[in-house]
Structure 1
Amino acid sequence: MSALTRRTRLVASALTAVALLSVAACGTDEPDAAGAAGYNLTADQNRITTDPVPEIAAEVPQSIRDRGTLIVTGSAGTAPPLRFYADDDKTIIGSETDFAHLLGDVLDLDVELTAADWAQNFVRVDSGEADVFISNVTVTEERKEKYDFSTYRLDNLAFEVKKDSGIEVKDPKDVAGLKVGVSSGTNQEALLVEWNEQNVAAGLEPTEILYFQNATDYYLALGSGRIDAYFGPNPSASFHVIQAGETEIAGTFSGAGPDLQGEIAVLTKKDNGLIEAINAALNHVIENGTYQQVLDRWGIANEAVETSVINPPGLPKKQ
């Protein structure tokens, strides 16, 4: 995960991307206030809810129970559907906020959503300013030294291409000779660079890697043919495919590489006593079906986990 830009850029890029996607879907019905493809992009969210579970709520540390609020930090993101600003430019919405509210429901706590730059989210948890960090956080071995994790999504990456382009990416050699966009400082960049080095060493054509930080920029490049594919988080790609209708997924890969399935998790300060309640709440919503409803609502059902696990194997430390 890369550091994210500040709020002004987040607002502009997320909402402009949504607008562009609607324009790209020419020939379809004009989107209503809920957005193209039926997604609710307004501040008035029809969130999935569930009932409190007293025995799980009782596991929450007393200081948080007395406060009555679960303080959730995260990044607004640069593209839907994970965590972004609604069309009022101030309300944070998306699948990650829906999961936060489901946790609040089970734990019988109000949810306070806050946003910060990527690195500052860790600082907020360190200082106790926030209880949990829920914002597409990948489990890594390095992070596990300071934090506890409870998983709730697979960490998958996707190659998004123009529909009917004929491009399929099943293994590293399939990117040889392609122009591929990627965001710098991300897991996907590291994988793409590694694959390109392997291909060149094997005598294959090099991949031309182009760098983008904003959704609007890489979708314009993909639409104009300046790049053949964009390699990014699977949720954003899946959301865009459904909404725009002019692209498709050419291949998906674990964000942790070929030897490990990466996982996205709720992050808490290590040994603060909260992760057990979070884990129990996540497994409860998985069992009662509301978890799946959130995934379906945002078009990311292909990242479902069967069970939430505390502190699974994470991305290895860099050598």
Structure 2
Amino acid sequence: MPRNRLFRRLASVLALTTLLTLAACGSPDDEPAALAADPSGSAAAVINTSPDQKRIRAQKVDAVAAKVPPTIGAGGKLRVGISAEGSPPLAFRADDDRTLIGVEADIAQLVADVLGLELDLQPTSWENLFLVVRSGQNDVGFSNITVTEERKDIYDFATYRVDSLGWEVKADGKISKIEKPADIAGLNVSVGSGTNQEQVLLRWDAQNKAAGLAPVNITYYQNPADYQLALLSGRIDAYFGPNPALAYHVAVSGKTKIVGIVPGGGEVPAQIAAMTKKGNGFVEALNDALNAVIKDGSYARVLSRWGLASEAIPAAQINPPGLPRK
């Protein structure tokens, strides 16, 4: 995909400048970092986009594995639905254009390990993901899925990450902080069309107009390369999008920074969760597996290697309050 190729080119430039230094000093536990980045804007470490990820692994926990229903894990495999559309660092293709890598695959691997199952990643489109989980074709979905009250009618959820949105600006620009609607009054802002963050942006803009502040000028671009170019050239002042993708952009380019992070629901906190068919009995084992890797530290190491330590949660939860119904 064009998006993947762009990120790999940027990653290669960064890697060439850091690999020699890092080769001499190594990394904790001799685990090569996929991504180590300062969310405030400075690029660092190495981005591993090769098929050989040397994923962080967990140990089987018999008591948790015993809770897996007989309908789950056919053939000793955990069938995981995961987006194939490419969104670093969440889920994207490695340099071989085949192997799925990213934080979602890594978390799924930990869960499979705890349950004593072989990880079977089954790429699909975002739209089809919900169908394959609902039909039972896949045991679980790991694909940056936000818990919502509507989705809870059909699926069960076990949480594993905070859902957060970020504001990205030029590293050498004048904007240093975006925390509230007034901070974007009069700015030229880009956001993805039809997304949750667009709805948040429109609500902020409406609040500004009601308060007599200058409106936001919203510009839409079809792909990340376009908005990145617009941001660096000064055609837009800021981009509003999912924090994981922005953290990746910041790390691979070194030319932008994140100046604000807000909950995935804007004013309402949200969580990312593993999704399974409602009532199939699997969610308890999923939740226990996630809590096991949170406790043993492997979960934190996975988030850190993808630059997402700020999205860690202290404990997994089953079906917490989700974003309200529309």
Partner of residue 233 from structure 2, selected from 209, 217, 224: 224
Which string of whole-angstrom CA distances, capped at 9 and with x for unpartnered residues, describes residues 176-234 of structure 1?
A: 11111111111110000111111122221111111124222221221222211110111
Q: Which residue of 2 aligns with 1:29?
A: 17
- Residue 93 of structure 2 is matched in structure 1 by 85
Question: Cα deviation per residue 1:267-301 (whole Å; 9 max; x = unaligned)?
Answer: 00001011100000000000000000000000000
Structure 1's unaligned 5+ residue stretches are 1-10
Q: 1:170 corresponds to which residue?
A: 179
Matched to 1:145, the amino acid is D
Q: Does 1:197 align with 2:206?
A: yes
1:13 is displaced (CA, Å) by 0.9
Gap change, CA 1:183 and 1:65, over 3 Å in 2: closer
Q: Where does residue 325 of structure 2 map in the other structure? A: 317
Aligned to 2:7: 17
Counterpart contact for 2:188–2:217, Cα < 8 Å: yes
1:150 is matched with: 158
Please say if residues 80 and 121 of structure 2, whose CA atoms lie closer than 8 Å, have aligned partners that are also in contact.
yes
Compute the displacement of 1:67 (Å). 2.1
Matched, 1:117 2:117: no
Distance 1:102 1:39 in 2: 20
Provide, for residues 115-137 of structure 1, a one-character-per-residue CA deviation record: whole Å limited to 9, x for no partner. 21111000101111111111000
1:299 paired with 2:289, answer: no
Deviation at 1:21, TM superposition (A): 5.5
Aligned match for 2:290, one of 261, 265, 282: 282
CA distance in 1, matches of 2:68, 2:86: 32
**CA deviation map 1:73-92 (0-9, x unaligned):** 12134431010111111111
User: Is the Cα–Cα contact under 8 Å of residues 17 and 79 in structure 1 kept in the other structure?
Assistant: no
Distance 1:284 1:178 in 2: 45
- Describe the SS at the equivalent of 2:159: strand
Q: Which residue of 2 aligns with 1:209?
A: 218
- Is this contact kept in 1: 2:171–2:256, CA < 8 A? yes
Cα distance in structure 2, aligned partners of 1:95 and 1:114: 15
The residue type paired with residue 150 of structure 1 is A
How far the C-alpha of 1:237 sits from its partner, in A, is: 1.1
Q: Relative to structure 2, which stretch is displaced further, 230-239 or 30-39?
A: 30-39
Aligned pairs, number: 305
Contact 1:15 1:86 in 2 (8 A): no
User: Are the equivalent residues in 1 in contact too, given 2:86–2:93 (CA < 8 A)?
Assistant: no
Q: 1:22 to 1:195 in 2, by over 3 A?
A: farther
Deviation, structure 1 residue 243: 2.6
Against the structure 1 CA distance between its residues 59 and 75, is the aligned structure 2 distance closer, same or farther, given a 3 Å change threshold?
same
Percent sequence identity over matched residues? 51
CA distance in 2: counterparts of 1:303 and 1:273, whole angstroms: 27
Tell me how far apart the structure 2 counterparts of residues 44 and 21 of structure 1 sit (CA, whole Å). 16
How much has 1:164 moved relative to structure 2? 3.0
1:234 is matched with which residue? 243
RMSD value over aligned CA atoms?
Answer: 2.0
**What is the one-letter code of the residue matched to 2:288?**
A
Contact 1:172 / 1:199 at 8 angstroms: preserved in 2?
Answer: yes
| Conserved 8 A contact 1:238-1:249 | yes
SS at match of 2:58: coil
Amino acid at match of 1:306: P
Structure 2 CA distance, aligned partners of 1:37 and 1:221? 26
TM-score by length of 2: 0.89
Specify every segment of 5 or more residues in structure 2 that has no aligned partner in the other structure, as ranges.
Answer: 21-31, 36-43
Cα pair distance change 1:202/1:306, threshold 3 Å? same
- Deviation of the 1:20 alpha carbon: 3.6
Report the AA paired with residue 183 of structure 1.
G
Partner amino acid for 1:229? A
Aligned 8 A contact 1:21 1:240 in 2: no
Q: Summarize the Cα distance change of 1:314–1:176 in structure 2 as closer, same or farther, 3 Å threshold.
A: same
Query: Is 1:248 paired with 2:257?
Result: yes
Q: Secondary structure at the match of 1:311?
A: coil
- Per the alignment, do residues 66 and 183 of structure 1 end up closer, same or farther by CA in structure 2, a change over 3 Å counting? closer
Hey, what's the Cα distance between the residues in 2 that align with 1:85 and 1:77?
A: 9
Alpha-carbon offset, residue 166 of structure 1: 2.6
Encode CA deviations 1:130-155: one digit per residue, 9 max, x unaligned: 11111000000000000000000000
Question: Partner residue of 1:8?
Answer: none
